[in-house]
């Protein structure tokens, strides 16, 4: 049972410490509860993407709350700040249409930063057309230098599009590549032809056969194994030019390919919000 001293409080997160006792056949769990109104120095990251919005509350470098919403309204933010009254700063990045009420609300809640191409970043941006660089890719580069400082890092972000982004060991962002995402490939085969069906993404790519014996299974084979080959070939080419190389995979669809890829890859969920948090930290120290 939860001790009475903890009842009725709201908690931001808990941590399980599991220990197998050598002399007993039972497992013991120690649960550490942290009340939301006692955790200081919280930060809110708002990432408004193409498909949905992520609201992430950070305590230091740990995400203690992550919420996905389709169309964010002020009520969502009011709930977050009610649960976490000690949020003292926030950052907003939007690649889509932005409700002007959102930055106005956030700016009234403490230190607020909206990501623009002129925003200070913790890396050297050597992209030739910096003003056209996507905000998600800016955040990805910021996450790369935080996760693997002084390393060559290739980040593969598997979202609506698949982006490849490279940061050198000197902290220079050089650029990368953009290709169609998984869903986009299936939709293109259906929308740009007269008779090919729209194939749904299977829950497990390990069940996809290389040799398709129906139109549907042939489409699955072409898309999945074609993309697998693209990713592995791209990693190999970057490794030849930027060795040694750390490779990170992230994005909404990374889970489908994590087990299929042979390369030594670091799976890092929510890399964009982590990068935005690093940008916020960087600007607060300036």
Active site amino acids: 136
Strand order, beta sheet including 245-250: 124-125, 172-180, 161-167, 152-158, 245-250, 266-267
């Amino acid at each position: 049972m939860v001790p009475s001293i903890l009842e009725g409080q709201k908690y931001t997160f808990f941590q399980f410490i599991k220990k197998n006792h050598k002399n007993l056949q039972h497992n013991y769990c120690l649960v550490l509860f942290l009340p939301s109104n006692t955790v200081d120095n919280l930060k809110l990251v708002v990432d408004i993407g193409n498909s949905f919005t992520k609201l992430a509350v950070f305590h230091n470098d740990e995400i203690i709350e992550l919420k996905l919403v389709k169309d964010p309204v002020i009520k969502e933010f009011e709930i977050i700040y009610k649960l976490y009254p000690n949020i003292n700063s926030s950052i907003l990045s939007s690649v889509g249409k932005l409700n002007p009420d959102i930055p106005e609300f956030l700016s009234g809640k403490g230190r607020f930063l909206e990501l623009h191409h002129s925003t200070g970043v913790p890396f050297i941006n050597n992209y030739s057309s910096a003003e056209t660089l996507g905000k998600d890719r800016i955040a990805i580069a910021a996450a790369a230098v935080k996760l693997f400082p002084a390393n060559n890092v290739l980040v593969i972000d598997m979202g609506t599009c698949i982006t490849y982004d490279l940061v050198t060991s000197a902290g220079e962002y050089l650029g990368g590549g953009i290709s169609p995402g998984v869903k986009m490939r299936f939709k293109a085969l259906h929308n740009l032809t007269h008779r090919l069906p729209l194939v749904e993404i299977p829950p497990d790519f390990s069940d996809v056969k290389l040799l398709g014996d129906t139109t549907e299974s042939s489409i699955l084979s072409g898309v999945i194994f074609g993309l697998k080959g693209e990713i592995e070939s791209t990693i190999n080419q970057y490794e030849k030019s930027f060795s040694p190389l750390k490779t990170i995979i992230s994005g909404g669809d990374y889970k489908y390919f994590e087990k299929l890829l042979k390369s030594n890859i670091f799976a890092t969920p929510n890399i964009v919000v982590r990068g935005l948090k690093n940008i916020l930290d960087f600007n607060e120290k300036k």
